[in-house]
Structure 1
Amino acid sequence: MNKLMITTALTASLVAGAATAQERIRWQVPMSFASTLTALGDTMPWVADQLRAVSGGEIDLRTAEPGAVVPALSIFENVSEGNIDAGYSWMGYEWGTVPASALFGATPFGLESIEFLAWMTHHGGQELLEETFHPYNVHPVLCGTISPETAGWFRNEVNTAEDLQGLRFRAAGVGGEIFQEFGMSVTIMPGGELYQALETGTLDATEFSLPTVDEQLGFYQVAPYLYLPGWHQPSTNQFLYINLDVWNGLGDQTKAMIETTCMAGNAYSIARAEALQGAAIKRFQEQGTNVRTYTDEQIAAFREAAITVLGAWSERDEMFGKVYSSMMAYQEELRPWKEMGYLPRDWQTRIGE
């Protein structure tokens, strides 16, 4: 056999070996959010497309709309029990079972999206995530983070924190418990039910997501007052939940491809979110929405209530306290850089431009 034939045979053997090394994955991935919701629901389909591309079609995650496979708010439970291999959701819906999950989903007055990514990858967040969820037979992969939510859509004006007393309000995660400190009656509902609840008066107000998502759901048509900033959810972090037994059965190459593509999904989602919100706010104003910002006094009241609730949960649940302490230590470490390294957000106003 001449050298050319040997080289050709060796190359063919290596190619065949590489081809057979790649696992073939076929998962149905139910989601908590409709794929039509910008940056919130369309990130996982984008990630699935990229995974098919980089794997040559061998990793095929087929996303399913809310309720098509399992109820929209039961992704974690079904992955944990092994009813489905994987699912995609905002981390926090399960905080009644896993209290610390609320912090990974969104921490009131906590880490913004870029800060959260930094904490997850360089300040122990990933290790704490696995320590929190592996006992439930779930391996979560951070796979989407977006800008702050709106603070809420209200049917009536809110001039003081006392005006919140008695309002029927939709909220999720630990933020909902903080709102209860102001005498609000808090419930949780899927996004698709909120327009009708506001229209009929079942709800007096709701928070849900980004301005663009709230716009898609039509809140501005039935609630004329929009309040900012989203202190209760400075970032919204979504995860690809994978059954731990299934995850442990994957090869290193497949795991790396999923993790790397989800990291690309984080960049995609935050860029997409930031790209669109300014125009959405402008549209609300042009359509007659009363876009308001909470006063310093209101924000101080919210902060005090948040400290009370988060402190109580830290004492009540060891893992919650461990995660919260880690987040706050990093936030404090970062503060000099945040305050001095960046221009103030209102610098243009402050210098008269």
Structure 2
Amino acid sequence: MNFKKVAIASALALAATGMSVSAQAADKKILLKTPIAFGSHLPALGTPIQWYADHITTTSGGTIKMKIYEPGKLVNPAEILDAVSTGKVNSGYATAGYWQGKLPASALFSAVPFGPEAGEYMAWLYFGNGLKLYQEMYDQGGYNVKVLPCAIISPETSGWFKKPIEKPEDLKGLNMRFFGLGASVMEKLGVGTVQLPGGEIFGALEKGAIDASEFSQPAIDQRLGFHKVAKYNYFPGWHQQSTVFELLINKDTWNGMSETQQSAVETTCMATMTYSIAEGEAMQYSAMEKAKENGVEIRYWNKEMLNLFETTWLEVVDEKKAADPFFDKVWQDLSQFRKGYALWQANGFLPRATQTQ
């Protein structure tokens, strides 16, 4: 049995627990109109929500359907949270880091520089206080949404550059597309950062409006053609060792669901978490090999640069904690969880090979 069949079978079995034919018949049918922040053609970034839409009808016993709307077709990505909260739409798919201008702690539920990898991140969310704090953030901010982690990917690349970056001085004066908390690090190092949607990055690089860009994993970046305009691709993705994506559901819609329907929505998101991480892990190496064939130099940051990024990140953390009490609360909880996890990580896993340039 292949992965796709296993994932579907698992979701079906879990969603069916405690579900009777009469209960299904009594459930009100719901259509989730879902604007998405990433094109559904982008592997591991946009494909998971399409997979979710393809399976939620089955796992809900035919009582829930989802119609997805590509970025900007119904709601612009930056407006998804507000649209779901106000009921303009009853659901949306994005990553929480998009809202850090309104909710500073939201970035900690998206991607954390030098932060947890996917397994550890999920452990904190599901078995630590992560999910509780995640929902508390939206409630405290006055948003009428139910939040569910609904996809996760492993490390991204840390950027595409038109010239080599060997020392801190090489960063100063660059204009770079950068996302999330990592952008604050780059700004402290003299980089001018802008937030551009994926579809606009290639044109900005080609025209010289920006000098460099990070976006996502190699297989995703390949689809966007970055290798044609920037030949130096740097690793590791210190700014995003893993990235969580969220399904937001209007609370009135959520509260109107039966327990069976809510269980189906939650369980299918957990199945989609599995789908997304497996899909992403399966396709990166071939994309990297193709990039090398296209003349891209794959580089690993030297120790000086990695140390610089990390020490600067810790300065950013102190600033964010001082500026926002809830950021501080989430950071302290995540840090405490990671402190405990470190004992397992240090002893349970083989040491990684260290690469330097």
Report the TM-score when normalising by structure 2.
0.91
In structure 1, the partner of 2:88 is 83
Q: Residue deviations 1:19-69, cap 9 Å, x none?
A: 423331112101000000000000001011111122243210111100100
Instruction: Give the superposition deviation at 1:116.
Output: 0.8
Matches of 1:290 and 1:150, distance apart in 2: 13
Aligned pairs (5 A) from 1:256-295:
256-295=263-302
Q: Does 2:28 match 1:28?
A: no
Q: Aligned match of 2:104 in 76, 99, 110?
A: 99
The 8 Å contact of residues 110 and 328 in structure 1, kept in 2 or not, is answered as no
Q: Residue deviations 1:154-206, cap 9 Å, x none?
A: 11111112211010011121111111011111010100000000001001000
In structure 1, the partner of 2:54 is 49
Matches of 2:24 and 2:297, distance apart in 1: 58
In structure 2, the partner of 1:226 is 233
Q: Aligned match of 2:42 in 30, 37, 40?
A: 37
In structure 1, the partner of 2:120 is 115
Q: Does 2:135 match 1:130?
A: yes
Matches of 2:174 and 2:20, distance apart in 1: 64
Secondary structure of residue in 1 paired with 2:78: coil
Write the letter of the residue equivalent to 1:109: F
The size of the alignment, in residue pairs, is 335
The 8 Å contact of residues 113 and 235 in structure 1, kept in 2 or not, is answered as yes
In structure 1, the partner of 2:164 is 157
The structure having more radius of gyration, on CA atoms, is 1
Write the letter of the residue equivalent to 2:324: D
Matches of 1:311 and 1:23, distance apart in 2: 48
Secondary structure of residue in 1 paired with 2:160: strand
In structure 2, the partner of 1:202 is 209
In structure 1, the partner of 2:71 is 66
The more displaced of 206-215 and 50-59 is 50-59
Matches of 1:51 and 1:221, distance apart in 2: 38
Secondary structure of residue in 2 paired with 1:250: coil
Secondary structure of residue in 2 paired with 1:312: helix
Instruction: Give the superposition deviation at 1:78.
Output: 1.1
Q: Where has structure 1 moved over 4 Å in runs of 4 or more?
A: none
Instruction: Give the superposition deviation at 1:16.
Output: 6.1
Write the letter of the residue equivalent to 2:199: G
The 8 Å contact of residues 110 and 327 in structure 1, kept in 2 or not, is answered as no
Matches of 1:241 and 1:339, distance apart in 2: 35
Q: Aligned match of 1:213 in 204, 220, 228?
A: 220
Aligned pairs (5 A) from 1:232-251:
232-251=239-258
Secondary structure of residue in 2 paired with 1:78: helix
Matches of 1:268 and 1:161, distance apart in 2: 38
Matches of 1:305 and 1:164, distance apart in 2: 14
Matches of 2:137 and 2:262, distance apart in 1: 20
Change (3 A) 1:16 1:278: closer
Q: Aligned match of 1:166 in 169, 173, 179?
A: 173
Report the TM-score when normalising by structure 1.
0.92
Matches of 1:341 and 1:53, distance apart in 2: 38
Secondary structure of residue in 2 paired with 1:32: coil
The more displaced of 238-247 and 261-270 is 238-247
In structure 2, the partner of 1:299 is 306
Q: Aligned match of 2:329 in 304, 309, 322?
A: 322
Q: Residue deviations 1:85-109, cap 9 Å, x none?
A: 0000011011000111101000111
Matches of 1:131 and 1:73, distance apart in 2: 21
Matches of 2:20 and 2:81, distance apart in 1: 39
Q: Residue deviations 1:219-260, cap 9 Å, x none?
A: 001001100000011111100011122222222111110000
The 8 Å contact of residues 24 and 63 in structure 2, kept in 1 or not, is answered as no
Alpha carbon RMSD of aligned pairs, Å?
Answer: 1.5
Q: Which runs of 5+ in 2 are unaligned?
A: 1-18
Secondary structure of residue in 2 paired with 1:238: strand
The 8 Å contact of residues 111 and 327 in structure 1, kept in 2 or not, is answered as no
Write the letter of the residue equivalent to 2:262: K
Change (3 A) 1:19 1:80: closer
Change (3 A) 1:19 1:128: closer
Secondary structure of residue in 2 paired with 1:100: helix
Q: Residue deviations 1:323-347, cap 9 Å, x none?
A: 1111111111111221221112229
Q: Which runs of 5+ in 1 are unaligned?
A: 1-13
Write the letter of the residue equivalent to 2:174: L
